[in-house]
Amino acid sequence: MKRLLLAALVLFGAWSCITFAPAPPAFHMEELSSSLVTRLTLDQRIAADEVWSDLKAGRPDRAQRTLLKLGKDNPVYAVGMGFVNLSQSELAAAEASFKESLARYPDMIPAQAGLAQLYETKGDKGLALAEYLEILKNDPENRWAKPKAEALRGQVAKALLDEASSARAAGKSEEERQALLKVVSVDPESTEANYLLALDAVDRNDTAAAIRHFSAFLEKETTSRERKVAAVRALAGLYYKNQEFGRSLDYYEKLAELDPQDKDAAGRIEELKTKLGVFELPSQYGLIPSEESITREDLAALVAVKFKDFLNVPERQTEILVDISTSWAQKFIIKVASLAVMSGYDNHTFQPKRVINRAELAETLAALMEFLKGRGVRFVALLDTRKVAIGDVAPDSFYSPAVLKVVACQVMDLTPQRMFEPERIVPGREAIRTLDVLLGLAK
């Protein structure tokens, strides 16, 4: 009996000498940011490190004692107490502490991480996701929060889509809309939510919202051809309704690619091209940059294409030009001639094949500047024309006013010898560069 008692005492003594390491916490702790740590004194930094080490090691009591020594005004206090309370399953106190920390320091990522985990513990995935997304705003590549957010994003979006579906089945359109708006707030790329919101916006005659959601839908949609065609058709019509004819034409042309049999789209495309003054560019247009000398038809085409946004005005009745029927640039010539940007000759010819020199280019540019001035464009002369001396253009020359105008506005330049070289032919690249200078000034 004595031996048994002795053995029991020995076992008890041995058992009492065994130390058990506390269990590590079941939550993740983000490190304090360097910007926050630099606000602390050396002693405070050491204390903060001790708090974090104790919390990670599952010793919340020790961490709490250190925090109390630091005091409530210390930046680490509230967030540290949040984790102390979280480790002790005091969820309400933990939430209050984390929120207090964020109220003082909105970019406190550890507090956001604490709230995210707390909400997940409570089963509130929506609030948890919101906190993960807040972390990613401050640290977009956060290795811990990023996968957590992505996993929750899908779950929350699906639950909200189910909620929207139930509301739709019950005829509760406003509840459906609110649920869908919540979907795009957590998952802006949701094709389902954006498509349904776009349809809803069309029903409510909210053109801006319809355009926004259809556009978001098309950015990501890759599977449903039927919905894609419907969205493109809707956007084409919405932009047309808004009188944004350029954008409308873009979408009608996309619609024609997706559905070549759509005759309505083909008709609207022709209507919009006429309205916008859009021309199908012949192959000859692409050859202009490589030409050693440009012709009048080349220049007419360059002006009509580059300045189409400004030339989109009703054409005035113009004289008959008898020699342009076989010109590849016939449409362009009619446009610039009707607006008096380039004119025909007394014998009713345009002479489309005639080679252009610098004096004639200056004449066309000056006429174009006058036309643009009538459209509200203001050109500022950088040089005083009374003091501009040009060695090879006499003051009484027919081209002198046009040359002085384009030189004063620095649309065309003089040589270092102050010569204009009025008779020199104009290569394609020089004409394009000069017109681009004028277009830049006009914009």
Tell me, what DSSP letter sits at residue 290? G
Nearby residues of 345 by Cβ (< 8 Å), 6 or more positions away: 351
For 205, the token pair is 């005659």
Please tell me the predicted confidence (pLDDT) of residue 34.
84
Residue 41: CB atoms within 10 Å? 8
For 6, the token pair is 């002795």
Contact of 245 with 226, CB cutoff 8 Å:
no
Residue 376: CB atoms within 10 Å? 8
Contact of 231 with 214, CB cutoff 8 Å:
yes
Tens of pLDDT, residue by residue, the chain (443 residues):
555 444 544 444 544 444 444 455 578 988 988 888 888 899 999 999 999 999 999 999 999 999 999 999 999 999 999 999 999 999 999 999 999 999 999 989 999 999 999 999 998 988 998 898 899 988 889 999 999 988 888 888 888 899 999 999 999 999 999 999 999 888 888 999 999 999 999 999 999 999 999 999 998 888 889 999 999 999 999 999 998 888 898 899 999 999 988 889 999 998 888 777 666 678 898 899 999 999 999 999 999 999 988 887 766 666 689 999 999 999 899 999 989 999 899 899 999 999 999 999 999 999 999 999 998 899 888 888 777 888 899 988 999 999 999 999 999 999 988 899 999 999 999 999 999 999 999 87
Domains of the chain: 34-153 (1.25.40.10), 188-276 (1.25.40.10), 283-442 (no CATH)
**CA dihedral in degrees (349, 352, 358, 363; nearest 10)?**
40
For 342, the token pair is 């380039």
Contact of 207 with 238, CB cutoff 8 Å:
yes
Contact of 114 with 52, CB cutoff 8 Å:
no
Distance, CA of 229 to CA of 233 (rounded, Å): 6
Tell the burial category of 213 from Cβ atoms under 10 Å away from its Cβ (0-12, 13-18, 19+).
Answer: buried
What residues pair up with 112 in beta bridges, in sequence order?
Answer: none
Please tell me the predicted confidence (pLDDT) of residue 314.
65
Please tell me the predicted confidence (pLDDT) of residue 25.
59
Nearby residues of 67 by Cβ (< 8 Å), 6 or more positions away: 51, 74, 76, 77, 80, 81, 84
pTM over cut 0.85: no
> Which amino acid is it at 236?
A
**Distance (Å) of CA 352 to CA 106, 251, 342, 356, 427:** 70, 35, 11, 10, 16
* CA 13 from centroid of its chain's CA atoms: 72
- Alpha carbon distance, N-terminus to C-terminus of the chain: 109
Please tell me the predicted confidence (pLDDT) of residue 15.
44
Distance, CA of 145 to CA of 132 (rounded, Å): 6
Crossing angle of the two packed helices 125-138 and 173-186, in degrees rounded to 10: 40
Which candidate, 130, 141, 191, 142, places its Cα nearest to that of 30? Answer: 142
For 314, the token pair is 């009703």
Q: Give the position of tokens 């001396």.
A: 389
> Which amino acid is it at 182?
K
Nearby residues of 307 by Cβ (< 8 Å), 6 or more positions away: 368, 372, 435, 439, 442
Distance, CA of 420 to CA of 362 (rounded, Å): 10
Contacts 24+ apart (CB under 8 A), 94-97: 94/118
